[in-house]
Chains A and B, each alone.
Chain A
């Protein structure tokens, strides 16, 4: 009786083992695609898909990054990927793909096709960073900073905010892009990555899109202000001029909020409130900083900031896009569901802005 049971058990085990064989694919038989770049192909309507592959290396103590870039042109993305399978000996695995770089020419035409593909594919995560590559996606993929040990790690770290906390970078995940493409009352944005030679990239601009393609590119300064408005606790510095001197203060904490005021039909406006707590970081004069001066630096900084922000907001309004989601904000506070968006459309071009900045410089730094 007991031996019979044992035999059955062994048989089951054997069956299990045979079942295993077919799906068992070890990690060393896979190549991880860490970044995908998509450019337009030579022929109109085709894609040039580039993959950046990370090759696991034996000795992890050596700083020796091995990476490979595959490129293939085809009329569809999937077809290009399938063809690339026969260019490598291992299975291409997309589950660790962290960034998708759209070539600038693609972004200038239509991003929806690529977005749909990236969200639809089951093995590509929804926390995939989208960005626009300049001059092209391939060039960005080819950048290999000398400090990098894991392929494309620098790109991942920079985009996800785990590494650098640059105020010029804003990351956009694919679910966010998907959300703002389809949502009424908000327009997508994408960060721009510029390849500068072989070893360096620069991420300090944001492209504003009208659901479909790039309409406007913000300058680095505008990008920083945009980030100040769109997220809290942006770590950056802003200038303040006082007398003939120039001061720079570092924002320890920042927050911003807004209200859309439409009580008067003919004079709708948005009131922005920016609150910053700061530390003095740089002083171009030799003057000792006094309490009174600290207050003055804050005031003049606030005035400069609100001027710059107002200019940015007007620029955004004039472009006709809504990257901040004011439309959705408006809709979320009005119950006339059938008409609210139409009302908003007519309001939007006439919108004015009131920016109230409040800079509180708390410390003068280590010296007075």
Chain B
């Protein structure tokens, strides 16, 4: 039984993770055509989604998506749906890993082979995604405890730098009178989609009590604003579009004067690789649990469950290896594609849950 605090952890993880790759890139690509208004729209819809989702999932205390679908929907409908969602979660985790392999190769170890790094990532992610949900939440909290101060430090240090060009930021602000743009909304709402992991983690929440949803929207808004404006302050309104990993190049532009380490990049990298490994673990855990629910039950047969888990995780790892063949642009395309699909997926999931609730209540009545 987990405290509601862990829900905020799940949310926070997602908001922080979105800085890595796709979200800032999509937003910055649209910086002259509506990224700013998209952020506002995303904050509104994201908060609405959280509110609706937590409301409806609260009606099923201690139940994950498989249990809810299993009790309310015909098996023929439930199974493919769960499968599709499992693939979505798997892809989200895999994309984080692949992005980080790419980032590691660019910024940290150009000499190490990409497959060696990926194997390292896969080893820890596969092993850890077998851990039970509650422990993963504890682990997530600890990771946030380590990384959050570092991320805050980076952010504060970035903003108080005298070479930070506030004029560039203001210049982009004056471009905000544009209609929102779908790509940017999809990218920005990803910030808010941490709640969706409840699909499995709801099993350990009994009666989630959410106070102050406005904190979530405020936090999401701040993170989005920082993730969008800070790179612009460093690389200019025009120059920014030439950078691939905007936030990592931004961190590379910050110097720490008095420390063993001079380049902020490494502190930022350390914080983010830790966080993204944990987030990949959590995504794959959800994916694995969803797939497990499709396989024959293994209650009280730990050996059999272990075998099933191994098969699933080996498939996951093989998939990630296969995806390694993509280059920078393919990866980006896939990421953006996934951002869109994920958004519709969330919408569908909320509708499905309401439908399930309606069915269950009618049945009870």
By the criterion CB–CB under 8 Å, are A332 and B168 in contact? yes
CA distance A181 to B236 in the complex (A): 9
Set A19, A25, A183, A231: member contacting B116, Cβ < 8 A: A19
By the criterion CB–CB under 8 Å, are A122 and B106 in contact? yes
Set B166, B174, B249: member contacting A337, Cβ < 8 A: B174
Q: Fill in one digit per residue for B221-260: 1 if any A CB lies within 8 Å of its CB, else 0.
A: 0000000000000111111001000000100111101000
Also in contact, A179 and B165, with CB within 8 A (given A125-B263, A335-B174): yes
By the criterion CB–CB under 8 Å, are B167 and A325 in contact? yes
User: CB of A291 within 8 A of chain B?
Assistant: no
By the criterion CB–CB under 8 Å, are B168 and A231 in contact? no
User: CB of A176 within 8 A of chain B?
Assistant: yes
User: CB of B146 within 8 A of chain A?
Assistant: no
- Residues on A with beta carbons closer than 8 Å to the beta carbon of B177: 335
- Residues on A with beta carbons closer than 8 Å to the beta carbon of B255: 127, 160
CB closest residue in chain A, given B235: A179
CB closest residue in chain B, given A177: B239
Q: Fill in one digit per residue for B153-168: 1 if any A CB lies within 8 Å of its CB, else 0.
A: 0000000001101111
Q: Fill in one digit per residue for A205-231: 1 if any B CB lies within 8 Å of its CB, else 0.
A: 000000000000000000000000001
The interface centre, meaning the residue of A183, A184, A186, A232 with most chain B CB atoms within 10 A of its CB, is: A183
By the criterion CB–CB under 8 Å, are A331 and B174 in contact? yes
The interface centre, meaning the residue of A22, A178, A181 with most chain B CB atoms within 10 A of its CB, is: A178
By the criterion CB–CB under 8 Å, are A175 and B165 in contact? no
CB closest residue in chain B, given A331: B171
CB closest residue in chain A, given B233: A179
Set B111, B165, B234: member contacting A325, Cβ < 8 A: B165
By the criterion CB–CB under 8 Å, are A126 and B249 in contact? yes
User: CB of A123 within 8 A of chain B?
Assistant: yes
CB distance from B323 to the nearest CB of A (A): 21
- Residues on B with beta carbons closer than 8 Å to the beta carbon of A333: 170, 174
User: CB of A23 within 8 A of chain B?
Assistant: yes
CA distance A343 to B168 in the complex (A): 18
Set B109, B237, B253: member contacting A183, Cβ < 8 A: B237
- Residues on A with beta carbons closer than 8 Å to the beta carbon of B32: 337
By the criterion CB–CB under 8 Å, are A127 and B167 in contact? no
User: CB of A334 within 8 A of chain B?
Assistant: yes
CB distance from A226 to the nearest CB of B (A): 15
- Residues on A with beta carbons closer than 8 Å to the beta carbon of B237: 183-184, 328
By the criterion CB–CB under 8 Å, are A175 and B168 in contact? no
Q: What total of A-B pairs shows CB separation below 8 Å?
A: 89
CA distance A334 to B175 in the complex (A): 10
- Residues on A with beta carbons closer than 8 Å to the beta carbon of B174: 331-335, 337
- Size class of the contact patch on chain B: 35 or more
CA distance A328 to B168 in the complex (A): 7
CA distance A185 to B167 in the complex (A): 10
- Residues on A with beta carbons closer than 8 Å to the beta carbon of B242: 178, 182
User: CB of B297 within 8 A of chain A?
Assistant: no
CB closest residue in chain B, given A183: B236
By the criterion CB–CB under 8 Å, are A183 and B113 in contact? no
Q: Fill in one digit per residue for A166-201: 1 if any B CB lies within 8 Å of its CB, else 0.
A: 000000010110111111111000000000000000
- Residues on A with beta carbons closer than 8 Å to the beta carbon of B168: 179, 183, 328, 332
By the criterion CB–CB under 8 Å, are B170 and A332 in contact? yes
CB distance from A154 to the nearest CB of B (A): 17
Also in contact, A328 and B167, with CB within 8 A (given A126-B249, A126-B253, A175-B253): yes
Q: Fill in one digit per residue for B103-123: 1 if any A CB lies within 8 Å of its CB, else 0.
A: 000110111110010000000
User: CB of A3 within 8 A of chain B?
Assistant: no
- Residues on B with beta carbons closer than 8 Å to the beta carbon of A339: none
User: CB of A162 within 8 A of chain B?
Assistant: yes
- Residues on B with beta carbons closer than 8 Å to the beta carbon of A337: 32, 174-175
- Size class of the contact patch on chain A: 20 to 34
- Residues on B with beta carbons closer than 8 Å to the beta carbon of A109: none
- Residues on A with beta carbons closer than 8 Å to the beta carbon of B238: 182-184
CB closest residue in chain A, given B165: A179
Set B110, B234, B262: member contacting A175, Cβ < 8 A: B234
CB closest residue in chain B, given A171: B163
The interface centre, meaning the residue of A23, A122, A179, A231 with most chain B CB atoms within 10 A of its CB, is: A179
User: CB of B173 within 8 A of chain A?
Assistant: yes
CA distance A220 to B242 in the complex (A): 35
By the criterion CB–CB under 8 Å, are B111 and A23 in contact? yes
By the criterion CB–CB under 8 Å, are A328 and B171 in contact? yes
CA distance A349 to B254 in the complex (A): 35
CB closest residue in chain A, given B239: A182
CA distance A186 to B167 in the complex (A): 10
CB closest residue in chain B, given A325: B167
By the criterion CB–CB under 8 Å, are A126 and B252 in contact? yes
Q: Fill in one digit per residue for A327-352: 1 if any B CB lies within 8 Å of its CB, else 0.
A: 01101111101000000000000000
CB distance from B82 to the nearest CB of A (A): 34
CA distance A125 to B265 in the complex (A): 9
CB closest residue in chain A, given B263: A125
Q: Fill in one digit per residue for B82-94: 1 if any A CB lies within 8 Å of its CB, else 0.
A: 0000000000000
- Residues on B with beta carbons closer than 8 Å to the beta carbon of A23: 109, 111-113, 116
Also in contact, A332 and B111, with CB within 8 A (given A178-B239, A179-B234): no
- Residues on A with beta carbons closer than 8 Å to the beta carbon of B235: 175, 178-179
- Residues on B with beta carbons closer than 8 Å to the beta carbon of A19: 116
Within 8 A of A (CB), among B329-363: none
By the criterion CB–CB under 8 Å, are A181 and B239 in contact? yes
Also in contact, A162 and B257, with CB within 8 A (given A126-B249, A178-B235, A183-B236): yes
By the criterion CB–CB under 8 Å, are B239 and A332 in contact? no
CB closest residue in chain A, given B172: A332
CA distance A14 to B319 in the complex (A): 26
What are 5 A-to-B residue pairs whose CB atoms are below 8 Å? A125-B265, A126-B253, A127-B255, A178-B239, A182-B239
> Assuming A122-B107, A178-B239, A178-B242, what are 4 further A-B pairs, CB within 8 angstroms?
A19-B116, A178-B235, A183-B237, A232-B162
Q: Which residues of B contact A (CB under 8 A)?
A: 32, 106-107, 109-113, 116, 162-163, 165-171, 173-175, 177, 234-239, 242, 249, 252-255, 257, 262-263, 265
10 closest A-B pairs by beta carbon, nearest first, are A332-B170, A179-B236, A182-B239, A183-B236, A332-B171, A175-B253, A126-B252, A182-B238, A328-B167, A332-B167
